[in-house]
């Protein structure tokens, strides 16, 4: 067979009809994109990995999806290919975000794609990146608290764990773990904005497409006021290191929101956001693009596995100095946004 890249489209669950680059193989098409490092999406057939402690002795399959006419799926969950379209699209947008904005070619920066497994396990309420297989795994959710975890922000969040692991390698516990999680929420959100998808527009909520009424809140987390989830920290305190990394991330998420959008209440793509500071100050935002530039440089140049919040303040101040100059408006905004979350 000759393998050839062709453009098709698919009906996704959350993002409407999206364009997909696929591979023609004989008379049918495969959900594999040679223009983005060979990224592909397979069906885990509701199986799970078999792991003993941290070593996986066998992995659930990723049976590559194929289609007869290159118009993929129905947009309904009854079609197994629907969430595969979302997963492949999420990988595309994440690839494009890192490539177009940061000139990073793939998660590892080596031009190689990753792959996705969808329909992992049964009613599985999570999604995760695995450095060992260099792959993404998506559950279908239990349908009560969560639906399929294939939204753009979740995809961008999880794949950004791979970027962190290849760069600062922030240890996944204590304050560095909170920064690892905040890095994923920041880039997951910037990926969602980057897509400019009218069906899944950007906001500073995480997982708003995925949550179901049984969860009792509108998203998994939110960055403007992290404590709205009942657990996350809005402000640094000496207890930050004791929190679960998904709650101590609130401090970094709150900083990121304030730096980009500022402290005043505002509506973004129809969603009300409001971000009171911890010190009563007013912060003026410098925009999402500069947040992304500063955080990416801090992550890839200055942060290390043991970076804590105080060191993250220094790392981002250094990054802002490199990018915009010492004493620049941007560097001053970084200092004010950290002070507004009680760091430094």
Shortest distance in whole angstroms from residue 39 CB to Ca ion? 22
User: Which among 246, 254, 261, 330 is annotated as catalytic?
Assistant: 246
As a whole number of angstroms, the distance between CA 315 and CA 106 comes to: 24
DSSP 6: E
Nearest approach, Cβ of residue 46 and Zn ion (Å): 23
Q: Which does 43 bind (CB under 5 to 8 A by kind): ligand ASN, Zn ion, Ca ion, none?
A: none
- Which residue, 202, 148, 170, 131, is CA-closest to 309? 170
Q: Are 301 and 240 in contact (CB under 8 A)?
A: no
Least distance between Zn ion and beta carbon 5 (Å): 32
> Closest approach of Cβ 329 to ligand ASN, in Å?
33
Would residue 273 show up in a list of annotated catalytic residues for this protein? no
Residue nearest to Zn ion (CB): 184
| Residue 158 is among the residues annotated as catalytic for this protein | yes
Binding mask 167-196 for Zn ion (x = CB under 5 A): -----------------x------------
Give 109's contacts (C-beta < 8 A, 6+ positions apart): 166
φ, ψ of residue 44 in degrees (nearest 5):
-80, 0
Cα separation, 59 vs 49, whole angstroms: 4
Angle at 130 between CA 148 and CA 55, to 5 degrees: 120
CA dist 200 and 22 (Å) reads 23
Per CB under 5 A, 94 contacts Zn ion:
no
Q: Which span sits near Ca ion by CB under 5 A: 112-120, 199-207, 294-302, 306-314?
A: 199-207
134 versus 314: smaller Cβ distance to ligand ASN: 134
- Cα angle, residue 196 at apex, residues 269 and 133 outer, rounded to 5°: 120
Q: Which of 16, 128, 165, 268 binds ligand ASN (CB under 6 A)?
A: 128
Residues that bind ligand ASN (CB under 6 A): 126-128, 158, 161, 181
Known catalytic residues are 158, 246
Residues that bind Ca ion (CB under 5 A): 153, 192, 203, 205
């Amino acid at each position: 067979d000759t393998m050839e890249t062709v453009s098709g489209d698919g009906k996704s669950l959350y993002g409407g009809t999206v364009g997909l680059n696929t591979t023609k193989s004989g008379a049918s098409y495969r959900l594999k994109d040679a223009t983005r490092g060979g990224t592909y999406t397979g069906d885990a057939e509701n199986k799970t990995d078999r792991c003993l402690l941290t070593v996986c002795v066998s992995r659930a399959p990723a049976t590559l999806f194929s289609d007869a006419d290159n118009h993929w799926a129905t947009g309904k969950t009854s079609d197994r290919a629907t969430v595969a379209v979302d997963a492949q699209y999420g990988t595309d947008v994440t690839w494009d975000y890192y490539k177009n904005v940061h000139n990073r070619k793939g998660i590892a920066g080596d031009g190689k794609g990753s792959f996705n497994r969808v329909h992992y396990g049964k009613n599985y309420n999570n999604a995760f990146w695995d450095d060992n297989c260099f792959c993404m795994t998506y559950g279908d959710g239990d349908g009560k608290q969560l639906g399929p975890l294939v939204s753009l922000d979740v995809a961008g969040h999880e794949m950004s764990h791979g970027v962190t692991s290849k760069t600062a390698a922030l240890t996944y516990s204590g304050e560095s773990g909170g920064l690892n999680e905040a890095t994923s929420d920041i880039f997951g959100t910037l990926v969602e904005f980057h897509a400019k998808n009218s069906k899944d527009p950007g906001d500073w909520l995480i997982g708003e497409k995925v949550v179901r009424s049984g969860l009792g809140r509108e998203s998994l987390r939110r960055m403007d006021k992290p404590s709205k989830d009942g657990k996350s920290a809005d402000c640094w305190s000496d207890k930050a290191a004791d929190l679960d990394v998904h709650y101590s991330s609130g401090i970094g998420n709150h900083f990121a929101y304030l730096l980009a959008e500022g402290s005043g209440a505002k509506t973004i793509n129809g969603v009300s956001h409001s971000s009171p500071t911890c010190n009563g100050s007013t912060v003026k935002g410098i925009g999402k693009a500069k947040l992304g530039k500063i955080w990416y440089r801090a992550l890839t140049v200055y942060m290390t596995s043991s970076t804590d919040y105080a060191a993250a303040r220094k790392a981002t101040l250094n990054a802002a100095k490199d990018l915009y100059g010492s004493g620049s408006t941007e560097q001053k905004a970084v200092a004010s946004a950290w002070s507004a979350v009680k760091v430094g």
